[in-house]
Amino acid sequence: MLFGNLSNFDFLTEAEKQPMLEQAMLAKAGTSGATLIKVAHTLVFINAFSSALGREPDSMWPMPRGCAAFLIKSEHARATTGGSASRGGATVGDGFRKTLTFMRDNLGFPIDLDGSLIAGAAPSAKASGGRRSLAATCSPRFYFLLETVASDPNASLVRRFYARSLLLAALNGIRVQDAVRLSFFWDEIKADAFVRGRVSMTKDGEPMDIFAPAEGIMGPLTWLGEHLRQIETTCGGIAFPRWEGIWGYKSNLDKGDVLKVEVASKDEIRAALHSIVSASPLGWTAALRKELGFKGHSMHGSFSDVTRWISESPVFPFSVAAGLSNGFSVMDWCEPGHWRRDARGTSDPTAPTPRAGGPSNAAAPPGAGARRNLMDFSYSRGEGRLGEQGAQLSVRSRFMSLLRAAHKHMNSPWQELPDGPLGL
């Protein structure tokens, strides 16, 4: 299907076609090949459907509009009947429709997906609840826990290792889904003073550099150098490796005793995260995690959420250093989540609004203003650039200083803080 009419390519041998096909598929694979995995699952589903009708799989192609609509509608009905997902399966039908669209537009599958019949087969993701985040902001107790386990010489090998890697990821706003592609490395100037790393590819399809001071709420991360050496020498440079141990090691890190030179899957990283927070002294059960909205995605937007909550010119019930009293600006809110990365965006919180009575900008394409405003961002990140690094370090350092001041003001052990994002 990718080659179109194969008769036009009779001069190509199978050996010549194979690398071309591989490159074409890799270009459309999505992060971690997730998109192609969805396509494979969809093809299995379509083949099973044709078998249930007593027909050959090839008889489904080309797929007429009515058949595509029936499949989308059936998937929506199946998922929403007793669905237990975060939205009760309401977005599954729309996801199936998007996969069929991807197959048609990028892989050449002959599927008729035009018209209101397809649009009405299942509600869109927006109609099913939109893009509102279902992952809540992390409780300060979560960060205290990771720091405590990361510094505990009596913690098991795998538990301490994962607490350290998760803390470094959390301090940089990295979600679990991106942790599988995250690497840490030494800072060239101050090896133990900064956390540096790179996500090889994020959801926008580009790499992302990360920078943070080597400090948590409880103080400097004195173990950073030791952890980076362990990643290099034991795990082959992998920040989140697979682990092995006695029976039950997959869900209980204390039963693991060997770190492997293999990248853990996002499900394995999530299992490690749950193992750490479910143990003493935090003891978060699955029911409590659900109540708190604690997910693998929570680490991504937590700092941005709290800096926005603090906002500009806040009033603190305790004394703070002069450099902290101004709070956080709109631009500061974006830094912890690594936002403003997509120049195709149609809105920018810092973009100037047109002056009343001023000249019309109706001819400008959507997102033009945002693209101009994002040039300063694009030209201040990457090799040989300093802007992104400076902004990241500044916001994260000020934020940690405020959290330390707040905890000192409360004058109570972190174990006694309430759960939830307002623990401080």
pLDDT tens for the 424 residues of the chain, in order: 555 555 455 666 777 777 777 777 666 665 556 677 788 889 999 999 999 889 888 888 999 999 999 999 998 888 887 554 455 567 888 889 999 998 898 888 999 999 999 999 998 876 655 455 568 899 999 999 999 999 999 999 999 999 999 999 999 999 898 999 999 988 777 777 888 899 988 776 778 888 899 999 999 999 999 999 999 999 999 999 999 999 999 999 999 999 999 999 999 999 999 999 999 889 999 999 999 999 988 998 899 899 988 988 888 888 888 888 889 988 888 888 776 554 444 444 444 443 444 443 444 344 433 444 454 555 455 555 556 778 888 999 999 999 999 999 988 899 998 887 766 5
CA dist 220 and 405 (Å) reads: 15
d(CA 77, CA 347): 35
What total of structural domains would you count in the chain?
2
Q: Which of 56, 86, 119 is the last residue of a domain?
A: 119
| 144 shares a domain with 114 | no
- Residue 400, domain member (yes or no): yes
Of 119, 154, 186, the domain-final residue: 119
Which residue has 């370090």 as its token pair? 393
Does any domain span residue 108?
yes
Radius of gyration of the chain, Cα coordinates, nearest whole angstrom:
25
pLDDT value for 343: 41
Query: Is the pTM above the cut of 0.75?
Result: no
pLDDT at position 83 is 53
Residues 85 and 147 grouped into a single domain: no
The residue out of 55, 88, 119 marking a domain boundary is 119
What pLDDT does 88 receive? 59
Residue 273 is predicted with a pLDDT of: 96
Both 153 and 286 in a single domain?
yes
195 & 226 share domain = yes
Pair 253, 402 in one domain: yes
Q: What is the maximum alpha-carbon separation in the chain?
A: 78
Domain containing residue 32 = 6-119
94 with 159, same domain: the answer is no
pLDDT at 38: 83
Q: Say yes or no: 223 and 92 in one domain.
A: no
Q: Are both 235 and 174 inside the same structural domain?
A: yes
Nearest to 372 by CA among 390, 397, 346, 395: 346
pLDDT given at position 129: 55
Do 312 and 231 lie in a common domain?
yes
Same domain (yes/no): 162, 79: no
Domain assignment of residue 66, yes or no:
yes
Residue 233 domain-assigned (yes or no):
yes
**Do 73 and 150 reside in the same domain of the chain?**
no
Same-domain status, 92 and 171: no
Residue 132 placed within a domain: no
Q: Which pairs count as long-range contacts for 168-171, CB under 8 Å and 24+ apart, including other chains?
A: 168/195, 168/197, 168/212, 168/221, 168/224, 168/227, 168/239, 169/239, 169/299, 170/138, 170/142, 170/143, 170/146, 170/299, 170/302, 171/143, 171/195, 171/212, 171/216, 171/396
Residue-level pLDDT at 241: 97
Q: Domain for residue 124, yes or no?
A: no
- Residue 204 belongs to a domain: yes
Write the pLDDT tens digit of every residue in 69-104. 999 999 888 888 755 445 556 788 888 999 999 889
Whether 13 is in a domain gets the answer yes
pLDDT value for 378: 53
